[in-house]
Chain A
Amino acid sequence: DTQMTQSPSSVSASVGDIVNITCRASQGISRWLAWYQQKPGSAPKLLIYSASTLQSGVPSRFSGSGSGTDFTLTISSLQPEDFATYYCQQANSFPFTFGPGTKVDFK
């Protein structure tokens, strides 16, 4: 199985801040990586796929980069609606696996 790790596990930030979240795969997954945003009581929402492709309707302040084993989700100017938990998911091979999540909360 491909294990996914994320750092940090939580980050405190303010509106307007730049937030970077890192995801690392235990083996190379090329660009087979997706990012999700989840708010309490809701299902995860797909933000980015193929490591850097923005899902339709997702604001351009979200961006993704990386390939192989190291990936980054960047929120360029944090907005109030962005306070949530973010998960990465490797889509390279079964069993699909998720990172443990990064919670973005108010500083």
Chain B
Amino acid sequence: QVQLQESGPGLVKPSETLSLTCTVSGDSISRSNYYSAWIRQPPGKGLEWIGSIYYSGNIYFNPSLKSRVTISVDTSKNQLSLTLTSVTAADTAVYFCARYASGKNWFDPWGQGTLVTVSS
């Protein structure tokens, strides 16, 4: 059974950089034909796809965030990472990681999510 677990600081100051990690267990993060993704959800609001990284290393971003987002994979630790620069209060959200197979662009499984608050 594949499980994902997000981790990182729960509080980030405005204008600083948000950094999160997602640890995958039960499968290789570099499994062929699979994507790993980040999705976020501001409190009380809907879901926003941030970006996906393919096992080959190709990365796809939401254009609304592309200039501030970095997504990478550490295969030695079986981890997915997200960095978001120049954060504002609008970046306050629960951040989820998720996986999906190529050609099956629906997210399953998901991590439990981690709340990141942007505040001074």
Contacts and interface: CB of A to CB of B under 8 A. Distances in A.
Interface of A: 1, 32, 34, 36, 42-46, 49, 55, 87, 89, 91-92, 94-101
Contact of B47 (A46, A87, A91): A87
Nearest to A101: B46
Contact of A44 (B48, B52, B60, B107): B107
26 contacts: A1-B63, A32-B105, A34-B107, A43-B96, A43-B110, A43-B111, A43-B112, A43-B113, A44-B96, A44-B110, A46-B106, A49-B106, A87-B47, A89-B107, A91-B104, A91-B105, A91-B106, A92-B105, A94-B52, A95-B63, A95-B64, A96-B52, A98-B48, A99-B46, A101-B46, A101-B47
Contacts of B83: none
Interface string B91-115: 0000010000000111110111100
Say whether chain A's binding surface is mostly helix, strand, loop, or mixed: loop
What class of interface size applies to chain B in its complex with A?
20 to 34
B47 A44 contact: yes
